[in-house]
Amino acid sequence: DLLGSPLPPPVSAKAFLALPRPQPPLLVDGILHQGCRMLLAGPSKTNKTWALLDMALSVASGEPWWGRKTTNARVLYVNFELEEWSMQLRLQALISARPELAPGLDNLQLNNLRGYATDLALLRPSLENTIAGGDYGLIIIDPAYKLLGDRDENSNTDITSFMNEFERLSAQTKAAVVI
């Protein structure tokens, strides 16, 4: 747990440069590396879930997302928003509009948790167990607000704590986490 461990000591630039740090896979060209975090935000009803599903299928199939190259990776989509029938309709609509994404269906895992809204701190260990050994490159959690628990969305302290949970999830799983 990177956030709970002691801080590393300073190192000289020479020593730092002597130990190569390989760049993680770039899942979405120019936007998202594996192991990093991304937030897609916007007002209600602005097609954020459509965009995230399109990203999930694009990465799962290794096809471009919004004109950007992707690296094929296993994807876990944690759905707190849509009813299962609605998720099916959206996936079918995306495949119909972009048939090249169909091969990604085998590489995309869905965790339909509508009705299970909880605190991310309580859910994270369960997610880590689900993800363990799954070699996921990308985890998408939609929508993030369902995981606030008792946190106040207008409190910097509460949102910092909330975002730290996503940091822990990506550090523990080595996957990119998009909310």
Residue 126: how many other CB atoms lie within 10 Å: 13
Q: What angle do CA 32, 53, 23 make, to 5 degrees?
A: 15
With a CB cutoff of 8 Å and minimum separation 6, the contacts of 143 are 48, 49, 80, 81, 179
pLDDT exceeds cutoff 70 at 139: yes
Residue range 119-129, pLDDT digits in tens: 777 787 888 88
The dihedrals phi and psi of 131, each to the nearest 5 degrees, come to -80, -25
End-to-end C-alpha distance for the chain, whole angstroms:
20
Residue range 85-105, pLDDT digits in tens: 999 999 999 999 999 999 999
Q: Are strands 176-178 and 74-79 parallel, antiparallel or unpaired?
A: unpaired
Spatial CA neighbour of 105 closest among 70, 140, 65, 53: 53
Q: What is the pTM of this model?
A: 0.87
